[in-house]
Amino acid sequence: MKRTLPFIIILVVLGAAVGSALYYTRATPGSNFTPADSATASTAPANTAAQPPVVTGAPGADPPYTLGSPNAPARLEEFGDYQCPPCGMFHPILQQMHKEFGDKLQITFREFPLPGHQHAIAAASAAEAAGLQGKFWEMHDLLYEHQNDWKDKFDVRPIYEGYAQQLGLDLDRYKRDVSGEAVAQRIFLDRKRGESLGVSGTPTVFLNGREVPFASLPAEKLRPILQNTINAGGR
């Protein structure tokens, strides 16, 4: 008995380890979230069983920055952090979706700067300050596209001021706005909205008020989900 007991213990631990790993892989929400494939997408109802609930939450900054038509059947809302690498990776995906779906897709961006990112608030402020001069999306694009250029820098202000100049903004006004009350207030309200919706990380994406699992954000997974929603008329 004494000679086989250690092997029995080892096998039991191996079984428990593999078993629990498989169990949690399956149980993680969204890990196996695959929408109906495109062949059946047009006939299948978009929203059947096991859908996350529709949430409304606190209002957020008003008016929000949006792309596409307010009457679009698919209304996507992203909570993002300019310093978060996966948000940076999601940015071109969302641009591609905007290009493909046009007026059928409305995209809203909400500021959700995470406390662990030292420049996240500064970046959000830069985008919001540019927004006060009508160039929110232009600054938004620059911040994401050049994320790797600034995220490890010690002082990011001159870099963002460079972007402001590049966009032809009134630099004196930008410098005032970036540390001003209006910008801080908008970020605060967006964050409050995120918190009220239970956002705990970025990017978090809602489609018509339902959270889209993080694992479904690659383009090839997001596209059929958007198509389904549009085909179903937004339901």
Partner 1 sequence: MKLYVTAAIISLLGLADALYLTVEHVTGQSVRCTIVAGCSEVLSSQYAVVAGVPLALIGAAAYFSVFSLATLRAFGYRIAATLLTALVLLMFLFTLWLIYLQAFVIHAFCQFCLFSAAVTTALTVIVLIAILSRRKTT
Residue from 87, 94, 143, 169 binding partner 1 (CB under 8 A):
87
Site for partner 1 in 108-167 (CB under 8 A): 114-117, 152
Q: Which is nearer to partner 1, 22 or 55 (CB)?
A: 22
Nearer CB in complex with partner 1: 117/175: 117
The single residue among 46, 84, 164, 197 that binds partner 1, judged by CB under 8 A, is: 84
Which listed residue (107, 214, 222, 231) binds partner 1 by CB under 8 A? 214
Residue 44: count other Cβ atoms within 10 Å of its Cβ: 15
- Cβ proximity to partner 1, 27 vs 39, nearer residue: 27
Residue among 218, 190, 226 nearest 61 (CA): 190
What are the angstrom distances between the C-alpha of 223 and each of 27, 49, 63, 74? 24, 20, 27, 11
Give which of 108, 44, 35 is closest to 72, Cα–Cα: 108
Please say which residue, 76 or 132, places its beta carbon nearer to partner 1.
76
Q: Give 111's strand partners.
A: 80
Among 85, 92, 102, 168, binds partner 1 (CB under 8 A): 85
> Which string of DSSP letters, residue by residue, matches 153-196?
-S--HHHHHHHHHHTT--HHHHHHHHTSHHHHHHHHHHHHHHHH
- CA–CA separation, 62 vs 64, rounded Å? 5
**Binding residues among 10-39 for partner 1 as defined by CB under 8 A:** 10, 13-14, 17, 20-21, 24-25, 28, 30-31
- Cα distance between residue 137 and residue 66, in whole Å: 9
Contact call for residue 219 and partner 1 (CB under 8 A): no
> Which residues contact partner 1 (rule: CB under 8 A)?
2-3, 5-6, 9-10, 13-14, 17, 20-21, 24-25, 28, 30-31, 81, 84-87, 114-117, 152, 200-203, 214-215
